[in-house]
Amino acid sequence: MADPKPIERPISPFMLGQYYRFQMTSVSSILTRITGNALIGSFILGVWWLLAAAVGPDYFAVANWWLTSWLGDLIFTLSLLGIWYHYLAGLRHLYYDAGHGLDIETAEKLGWVIIIGSVVLTVLTLIIIQF
Amino acid sequence: MRYLTDRKRAERKGASGTGTEHHWYMSVSAVALAFLIPTFLYIFGHALGHDHATVKATFGNPFVAILTGLVLFVSMQHFAKGAQLMIEDYTQGSWRRGLIMLAYSVAYVVTATGLWALAKLAM
């Protein structure tokens, strides 16, 4: 007979910080998820700006003012950092999936490559888009 | 000795019932985005801050319009499936189903709105 009470099935527990100390591998992994999901906000803002441009000059002025304000600049600079981080972490995922870089030393080195690489690529992008 | 291949054993397994399809889609879209995103970042970053006429002309260009359309479609599908994974990890029951529906809805709305804007700008 079926159990009338719903069974509490286990979900993924939060282990980081409570049971495990922070390590490059776990922190760089959770940051991939955080950046990827946070980027929806950047896309909503970007599409709003594009929509405003399609509607007309008056509405575009409103959206453009917000996106080029100090808050907009801050959000899009952070978005750029997020997208480059997610980009490099995604490439690492593909590398992992192919069966490479899974030993601790290489995995930790790759974590630093992602973090430093994302900052470098963000600065480079900010410089390049000025021209 | 078993003659079943690894793939055959994985098919229809797991909570999703779809085997490795979700993972494979994320890999395919990741590679696609790896090619699309750098060019898109340059175009978008360059256009941001310019006046209405310049922005209209930029996104009216066929190459830019198609690239932006592709970025929107592929990235939103990639987002929906990625968000689904996060939701499946941390929630269950009605919350899980509802939030997954919400994530996919947001992805579709962003895609449709962006495509309409691109079509309008191209005209």
A55-106, pLDDT tens digit by residue?
999 999 999 999 999 999 999 999 999 999 999 999 999 999 999 999 999 9
Q: Which of B86, B92, B117 sits opposite A50 (nearest CB)?
A: B117
Q: Tally Cβ neighbours within 10 Å of residue A103.
A: 9
Asked if B117 and A61 come within 8 Å (Cβ–Cβ), the reply is no
Q: How far is B5 from chain A (nearest CA, A)?
A: 18
The CATH number given to whatever domain includes residue B61 is 1.20.1300
Q: Report ipTM (2 d.p.).
A: 0.88
pLDDT at A8: 73
Contacts of A28 (CB under 8 A, 6+ apart): A89, A110, A111, A114, A115
The answer to the question of residue B2 being in a domain is no
| Residues spanned by the domain of B45 | 22-122
| Closest approach of A66 to chain B, Cα-based (Å) | 10
Q: Using CA of residue A110, residue B36, residue B73, residue B106, what is the dihedral sign?
A: positive
The count of structural domains within chain B is: 1
User: Could you read off the pLDDT of B4-47 as tens digits, one per residue?
Assistant: 888 787 777 776 677 788 999 999 999 999 999 999 999 999 99
Residue B12 lies in a domain: no
Does residue B117 form part of some domain? Answer: yes
Query: What domains, with CATH codes, occur in chain A?
Result: 24-128 (1.20.1300.10)
